[in-house]
């Protein structure tokens, strides 16, 4: 038996390599096979990215005549989903590290390599896409040796797309990766590395058995939550779930135990027997900390129960999504959700809208700030509505990241300009190979979550790759930007911003609202304000009826009297008039200037 994972930068061919391994091992008949076989979430297929880790068991007969069970755990490459990678690696003994022959080593390649080293895994380097006209295998070997510190000459050169040299990868897995250690007679210790919701069976828990044996009918206990259940079914992952009489030490499989409630399964928890429990739980995963926060509201307030139910179901499949109840004067009841990054937010929004048929409004994304008051109290605030009175604040801190950007040398100027515009500091440059630059910058996270990644891809024409680590908190000059429509604050549009950024952000918001809010019978003032200071303003003109059309000739005072009467009516209407803000206005404010 071998347990392994495939790790790589985005688009270096992990899922395609997994497809070829599945085909060669004959798990799926040719008729049922489809590309990106493990990416069974429609969003993964549409965007060409892996979002969820997936597991599958491949039976393989090696050259020495032995039959092996290879447990493959496919992982995402995008920086927002690195928590999925760490969970998968905790269940493996080794990894295939895939490098694109045309693009070489990139930012996420390094980040994933360090993750694998932290878990003390055996690493097999694989050079993919050798069929491309721009492929440079020797350069890729050199980068693997110099940048990654692995043996580049040992790297297996393949083309997953054209099925070139794939059997060599399977042989390397069998020969170079160690079999799992564990005693099937010991007390049960099984690590939960993922979970999925099945509407008919409840929670399907993905486990890696480290010690002991698990059979249907046994009573188990979750060591973290102290919950107890009876096992209904255990099995392995083939093309579909395959029930087995038992799972033993070293195996990767699933368990169904009538776990009905979504929140009862904690990823990283240890399963043990109720009667003979293990002495201590396995070292689980680090608690996932969301970094981007946004409130989600249903367009129609009647959809709130459906939204609550949908978020519950998503939180089972996605351990890193956090949600707490929230309410807004303009939008009613909703949820304040925490995400790992902007792509994660987009994916959650799209899944809620398409899988559950909901129409949603999201507020401006923000990060978690630390606020220290004059009397020495420390607060953590990510929601603008909890921002305290500025006169009580001593100072504020915001999270900073160290961004590592890899790109061709010719884009240095434009990328440095972009980072400096975003309040970047302490830049550092290294040249891993001729013509390639690794630029590191320290940036405020709040500047990155808005549209930094899109802009980076634009200025580097798609060649820039981006990875980041959070490095701690630093002092900042923070303010709450409020948007007023007809002198009323719209709490859903409030945001916490750096004071330097407040005016450009306010101008952007009032311009977008002016273009999307329909005209009324009276003038509507749209203003951006910090406290009582107005820093941006725009006005939507009123509809105007020509009340003087029936006055032809005669004294001018007749016309003036009618105009004065109309003016008084508009003034009265402005005081009592309600300005409905359409959903597209909220969405327009969320869009960055680049989206236009």
Q: What is the pLDDT of residues 63-117, one digit of tens each?
A: 777 888 888 876 665 555 556 566 667 778 888 888 888 887 776 777 778 778 8
E strand or H helix at 394, and its extent? strand 393-408
Return binding residues for GTP.
Answer: 11-16, 128-131
Backbone angle region of 101, left / alpha / beta, with phi > 0 → left and psi within -120 to 50 → alpha: alpha
Round to whole Å and give the CA distance between 442 and 427. Answer: 7
Round to whole Å and give the CA distance between 48 and 467: 19
pLDDT at 577: 57
pLDDT confidence bin for 562, thresholds 50/70/90: confident
Sequence ranges of the binding site: 11-16, 128-131
490 closest CA partner among 462, 516, 456 = 516
Kindly state the average pLDDT of the residues 37-60.
Answer: 56
Which residues fall within 8 angstroms of residue 322, CB to CB, at 6 or more apart? 290, 315, 337, 338
Nearest Cα to 446, choosing from 507, 384, 496?
A: 496
- Would you state the CATH architecture of domain 369-476? 2-Layer Sandwich (3.30)
**Whole-number mean pLDDT of the chain?**
79
Q: Residue 37 pLDDT more than 50?
A: no
Place of tokens 């995402």: 76
Classify residue 402 by burial, with Cβ atoms within 10 Å: 0-12, 13-18, 19+: middle
DSSP one-letter code for 276: S
As given in the structure block, the two tokens for residue 532 are: 């009582």
| 2-176 and 480-595 agree in CATH topology | no
Query: How sure is the predictor about 262, in pLDDT bands with cuts at 50, 70 and 90?
Result: low
Tokens standing for residue 160: 């997953």
Instruction: Identify whether the C-beta of residue 369 lies closer than 8 Å to the C-beta of residue 427.
Output: no
Assign domain 189-273 one CATH number from 3.30.70.270, 2.40.50.140, 2.40.30.10, 2.120.10.70. 2.40.30.10
Indicate the fold that domain 2-176 takes in CATH: Rossmann fold (3.40.50)
In words, the CATH class of domain 480-595 is: alpha beta
Cβ-in-10-Å burial (0-12, 13-18, 19+) of 573 comes to: middle
292-362 is a CATH 3.40.50.720 domain: no
* Per-domain residue ranges of the chain: 2-176, 189-273, 292-362, 369-476, 480-595
The verdict on pTM exceeding 0.85 is no
Kind plus residue range of the DSSP H or E element containing 145: helix 137-148
CA distances from 279 to 190, 209, 248, 273 (A): 13, 15, 19, 11
């Amino acid at each position: 038996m071998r347990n392994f994972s495939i790790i790589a930068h985005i688009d270096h061919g992990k899922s395609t390599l997994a497809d070829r391994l599945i085909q060669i091992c004959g798990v799926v008949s040719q008729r049922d096979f489809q590309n990106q076989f493990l990416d069974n979430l429609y969003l993964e297929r549409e965007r060409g990215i892996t979002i969820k880790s997936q597991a599958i068991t491949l039976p393989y007969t090696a050259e020495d005549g032995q039959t092996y069970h290879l447990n493959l755990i496919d992982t995402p490459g995008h920086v927002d989903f690195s928590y999925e990678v760490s969970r998968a690696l905790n269940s493996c003994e080794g990894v295939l590290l895939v490098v694109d022959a045309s693009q070489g080593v990139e930012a996420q390649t390094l980040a994933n390599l360090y993750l694998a080293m932290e878990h003390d895994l055996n690493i097999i380097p694989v050079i993919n896409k050798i069929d491309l006209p721009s492929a440079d295998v020797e350069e890729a070997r050199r980068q693997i040796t110099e940048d990654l510190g692995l043996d580049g000459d040992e790297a297996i050169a393949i083309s997953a797309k054209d099925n070139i040299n794939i059997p060599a990868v399977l042989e390397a897995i069998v020969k170079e990766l160690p079999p799992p250690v564990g005693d099937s007679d010991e007390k049960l210790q099984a690590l939960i590395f993922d979970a999925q919701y099945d509407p008919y069976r409840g929670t399907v828990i993905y486990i890696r058995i480290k010690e002991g044996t698990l059979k249907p009918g046994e009573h188990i206990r979750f060591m973290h939550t102290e919950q107890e259940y009876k096992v209904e079914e255990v099995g392995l992952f083939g093309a579909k779930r395959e029930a087995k009489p038992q799972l033993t030490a070293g195996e990767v499989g699933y368990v169904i135990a009538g776990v009905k409630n979504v929140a009862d399964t904690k990823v990283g928890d240890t399963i043990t027997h109720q009667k003979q429990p293990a002495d201590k739980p396995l070292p689980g995963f680090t608690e996932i900390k969301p970094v981007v926060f946004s409130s989600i509201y249903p367009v129609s307030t009647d959809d709130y129960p459906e939204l609550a139910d949908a978020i519950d179901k998503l939180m089972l499949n996605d351990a890193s999504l956090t949600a707490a109840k929230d309410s807004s004067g303009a939008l009613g009841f909703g949820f304040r959700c925490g995400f790992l990054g902007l792509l994660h937010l987009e994916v959650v929004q799209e899944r809620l809208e398409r899988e559950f048929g909901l129409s949603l409004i999201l507020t401006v994304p923000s990060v978690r700030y630390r606020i220290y008051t004059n009397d020495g109290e420390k607060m953590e605030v990510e929601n603008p509505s909890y921002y305290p009175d500025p006169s009580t604040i001593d100072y504020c801190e915001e999270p900073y990241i160290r961004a590592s950007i890899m790109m061709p040398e010719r884009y240095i100027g434009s990328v440095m300009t972009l980072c400096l515009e975003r309040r970047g500091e302490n830049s550092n440059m290294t040249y891993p190979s001729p013509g390639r630059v690794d630029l590191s910058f320290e940036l405020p996270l709040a500047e990155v979550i808005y549209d930094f990644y899109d802009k980076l891809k634009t200025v580097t024409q798609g060649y820039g790759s981006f990875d980041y680590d959070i490095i701690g908190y630093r002092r900042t000059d923070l303010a709450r930007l409020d948007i007023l429509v007809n002198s009323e604050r719209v709490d859903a549009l409030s945001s916490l911003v750096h004071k330097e950024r407040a005016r450009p952000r306010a101008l952007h918001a009032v311009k977008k609202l002016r273009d999307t809010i329909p005209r009324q019978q009276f003038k509507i003032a749209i203003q951006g304000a910090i406290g009582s200071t107005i820093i941006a303003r725009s006005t939507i003109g009123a509809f105007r009826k020509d009340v003087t059309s029936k006055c032809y000739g005669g004294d001018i005072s007749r016309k003036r009297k009618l105009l004065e009467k109309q003016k008084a009516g508009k003034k009265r209407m402005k005081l009592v008039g309600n300005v409905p803000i359409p959903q597209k206005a909220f969405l327009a404010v969320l869009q960055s200037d680049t989206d236009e």
